[in-house]
């Protein structure tokens, strides 16, 4: 019988910093690191501003043998997994390998790697496609590489539900723990900024901000909302049964108390917010949490009028207009599955530190919500709700609770 699902390790690779400490400090201060990105200019698409991870050197984090066979999104995942395990103080080689598994989510996959190899195929012929194309560009690459690197033979999975995947993966890993897994590595990473192919997959949605001003490009919930700014990076977590974690002396960041997910139509964001309402209700029901017990909401914050309105309506419908709502991602971008994972990291740090980080660059909002702007707010939250929607029609909500009551 599982006591509670405890997050015992957090590994963050974010545009605002590598490691939870740097990431949280930037979130708490409301730093904005969005910037004009040279790689984007080379893609030929009118997208200029993004959240780029600038402090990450694959050669520092990983062996050369691994680098040649992986896309950047997998390199982020491998590095974040190492950080999460170190943070958890857990060496998986001390556990039964069949009791430790991996679940990752990605929306973009290894598109840069794929584009390079497909160009070689088109230009020079099949003999010029490298063998690692067979493994590197698929969504499953990160889960597979982590499991190989760490010798993990427990339940493994891969989810592709756009941003919602970062939350759904955690729920999926939670089910594995309930079925007997001893520990799970779980999270989401993305590297969607480096190739025309990657941009083509995003630009066609019409949701990307075309602004070239980093400070006004991504302003969800405002009159100036003009889409979102893409980002790369991600986060991985170590998830364990709380009793087992504490028995080994592991420290608990927070508890995954409830998850809900719904599907409300292809190729559009949840019209009206009904799907998100149902997801929030399901997450609260699983957690046994009353609406008034939710102390802070980490919003999806798509940054278009319709999607923002739908999200605001969903939050008001279930939780009312007084719950503090924040979107730290306006400081570093919306990175699909990576973004939901980073929101979970921010929410756990928020519960731990008793502070709700602000929504960078957003000042006057036009929605009837208590959006935390300008400065972090000390509210000692005991529970945090993270929201994420996917363009494919998925809507997810994850309720996290503070480790100590």
CA 400 to CA 190: how far, in whole Å?
23
Nearer to other proteins (CB atom), residue 72 or residue 299: 72
Q: Check residue 64 for interaction with other proteins (CB under 8 A).
A: yes
Applying the rule CB under 8 A, the residues between 120 and 149 that interact with other proteins are 127-128, 130-132, 134-135
Applying the rule CB under 8 A, the residues between 69 and 88 that interact with other proteins are 69
Please work out the total of residues on this chain that contact other proteins, with binding judged by CB under 8 A: 14
Applying the rule CB under 8 A, the residues between 314 and 353 that interact with other proteins are none
Nearer to other proteins (CB atom), residue 133 or residue 350: 133
Stretch that binds other proteins, among 41-49, 65-73, 259-267, 378-386 (CB under 8 A): 65-73
CA 4 to CA 394: how far, in whole Å?
26
- Give the shortest CB-117-to-other proteins separation in angstroms: 11
Confirm if 116 and 137 have CB atoms less than 8 A apart.
no
- Give the shortest CB-196-to-other proteins separation in angstroms: 25
Q: Mind giving me the DSSP string for 30-89? A: T----EE-HHHHTTTSS--EEB---S--HHHHS-HHHHTT--HHHHHHHHHHHHHHHHHT
Q: What's the Cα-to-Cα distance from 197 to each of 76, 313, 382, rounded to whole Å?
A: 19, 35, 42
Q: Check residue 63 for interaction with other proteins (CB under 8 A).
A: yes
Question: How does 324-358 read in b/e, with b if 16+ C-beta sit within 10 Å?
Answer: bbbbbbbbbbbbbbbbbbbbbbbbbbbbbeebbbb
CA 333 to CA 351: how far, in whole Å?
22
Stretch that binds other proteins, among 43-51, 66-74, 103-111, 247-255 (CB under 8 A): 66-74
Among 21, 42, 68, 321, binds other proteins (CB under 8 A): 68
Q: Check residue 60 for interaction with other proteins (CB under 8 A).
A: no
Residue spans of beta strands (DSSP E) within 362-404: 370-371, 377-378, 383-389, 394-402
Q: Check residue 363 for interaction with other proteins (CB under 8 A).
A: no
Q: Check residue 65 for interaction with other proteins (CB under 8 A).
A: yes
Confirm if 105 and 337 have CB atoms less than 8 A apart.
yes
Nearer to other proteins (CB atom), residue 64 or residue 405: 64
Stretch that binds other proteins, among 63-71, 245-253, 316-324, 392-400 (CB under 8 A): 63-71
- Interface residue list for other proteins (CB under 8 A): 63-69, 127-128, 130-132, 134-135
């Amino acid at each position: 019988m599982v006591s509670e699902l405890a997050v015992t390790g957090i590994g963050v690779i974010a545009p605002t910093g590598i490691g939870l400490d740097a990431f949280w400090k930037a979130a708490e201060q409301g730093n904005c690191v969005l910037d004009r990105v040279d790689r984007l200019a080379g893609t030929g698409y009118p997208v200029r501003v993004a959240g780029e991870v600038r402090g990450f050197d694959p050669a520092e984090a990983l062996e050369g043998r691994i680098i040649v066979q992986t896309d950047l999104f997998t390199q982020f995942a491998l590095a974040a997994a190492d950080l999460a395990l170190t943070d958890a103080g857990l060496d998986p080689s001390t556990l039964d390998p069949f009791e430790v598994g991996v679940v990752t989510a990605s929306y973009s996959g290894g598109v840069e790697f794929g584009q390079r190899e497909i160009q070689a195929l088109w230009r020079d012929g099949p003999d010029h496609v490298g063998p690692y194309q067979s493994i590197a560009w698929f969504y499953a690459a990160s889960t597979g590489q982590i499991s190989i690197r760490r010798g993990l033979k427990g339940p493994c999975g891969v989810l592709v539900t756009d941003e919602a995947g970062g939350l759904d993966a955690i729920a999926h890993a939670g089910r594995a723990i309930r079925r007997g897994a001893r520990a799970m590595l779980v999270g989401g990473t993305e590297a969607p900024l480096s190739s025309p192919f990657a941009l083509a997959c995003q630009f066609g949605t019409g949701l990307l901000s075309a602004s070239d001003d980093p400070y006004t490009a991504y302003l969800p919930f405002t009159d100036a909302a003009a889409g979102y700014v893409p980002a790369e990076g991600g986060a991985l977590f170590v998830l364990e049964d709380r009793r087992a974690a504490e028995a080994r002396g592991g420290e608990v960041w927070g508890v995954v108390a409830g998850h809900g997910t719904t599907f409300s139509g292809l190729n559009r964001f949840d019209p009206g917010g009904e799907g998100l309402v149902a997801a929030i209700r399901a997450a609260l029901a699983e957690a046994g949490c009353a609406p008034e017990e939710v102390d802070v909401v980490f919003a999806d914050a798509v940054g278009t009028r319709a999607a923002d309105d739908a999200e605001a309506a969903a939050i008001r419908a279930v939780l009312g207009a007084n719950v503090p709502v924040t979107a730290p991602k306006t400081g570093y971008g919306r990175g699909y599955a990576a973004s939901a994972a980073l929101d979970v990291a921010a929410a756990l740090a928020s519960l731990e530190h008793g502070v709700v980080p602000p929504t960078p660059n957003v000042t006057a909002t036009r929605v009837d919500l208590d959006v935390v702007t300008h400065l972090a707010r000390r509210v000692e939250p005991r529970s945090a709700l993270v929201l994420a929607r996917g363009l494919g029609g998925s809507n997810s909500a994850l309720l996290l609770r503070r480790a100590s009551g």
